[in-house]
Amino acid sequence: MTPLRQARQLIEEACRRAGREASCVRILAVSKRQPVEKIVDLSAQGQDDFGENYVQELAAKMTALEGRGLRWHLIGHLQKNKIKLVSGRCALIHSVDSLALAEALNRRAGERGLTEKILLQVNVGEEITKEGFSPEKLRQDAALIFALPHLEIQGLMTMPPLQNDAEQNRPFFRRLRELAAELRARHSTARHPLRELSMGTSHDFVVAVEEGATLVRLGTVLFGERAG
């Protein structure tokens, strides 16, 4: 069985255990520091969604693989001075981690007459070194962000503290799901469906799916170890 089929099967089993529809979970293939040939190979197996961390690498791969119908996601930190490289070119930007960045993306999308689909990144572990809104800061800024006219807020993303045991990340995934439900009750509109939960990587995606992930970000299980 291919790694992609195997991951899909584990997702289906996790959905069955959790009483969820497996069709609600998408795999995002994280192709950072992987060669273009491996992306082409995976896309030939039916994988359409690819995620990259570094803006320059993302832009280069989008250009190199143009016309193949791939959907690109940015999952790493976005500096405001690099917005022009990704604006309007991503299926989804997962890593919107501040009000200032949301405002800058909104401004650029408005200038270009488009709507940017985004997720808000939450630092559910409240780690000092990690990007993302603290849950409290997100509650504070939510009304301002949801009022930005050129953004479509599709949901939340998190990258919990790396732990040896995937089970240890379960409370963080649960916290993201609960925060999304809370925001949905307060701010959700037709324009901001807030239905996506981007959570879970190669080592903990099964637990993330059990806790409600709709997008799992898989790198090494699909591609093998990264270069460099």
Ligand X SMILES: *Cc1c(COP(=O)(O)O)cnc(C)c1O
Provide, rounded to whole angstroms, the least separation between the CB of residue 201 and ligand X. 4
- The residue among 53 and 169 lying less far from ligand X, judged by its C-beta, is 53
Q: How far apart are CA 178 and CA 170, in angstroms?
A: 12
224: left (phi over 0), alpha (psi -120 to 50) or beta: left
| Residue at shortest CB range from ligand X | 219
Amino acid letter at 125? G
Provide, rounded to whole angstroms, the least separation between the CB of residue 107 and ligand X. 25
- The residue among 53 and 106 lying less far from ligand X, judged by its C-beta, is 53
Provide, rounded to whole angstroms, the least separation between the CB of residue 13 and ligand X. 18
DSSP code for 125: T
- The residue among 76 and 212 lying less far from ligand X, judged by its C-beta, is 76
Q: How far apart are CA 172 and CA 114, in angstroms?
A: 33
Binding stretches for ligand X (CB under 6 A): 30, 32, 53, 75-76, 159, 201-203, 217-220
- The residue among 122 and 218 lying less far from ligand X, judged by its C-beta, is 218
> In degrees, to the nearest 5, what angle opens at C-alpha 67 toward C-alphas 33 and 43?
50
Largest CA distance in the chain: 47
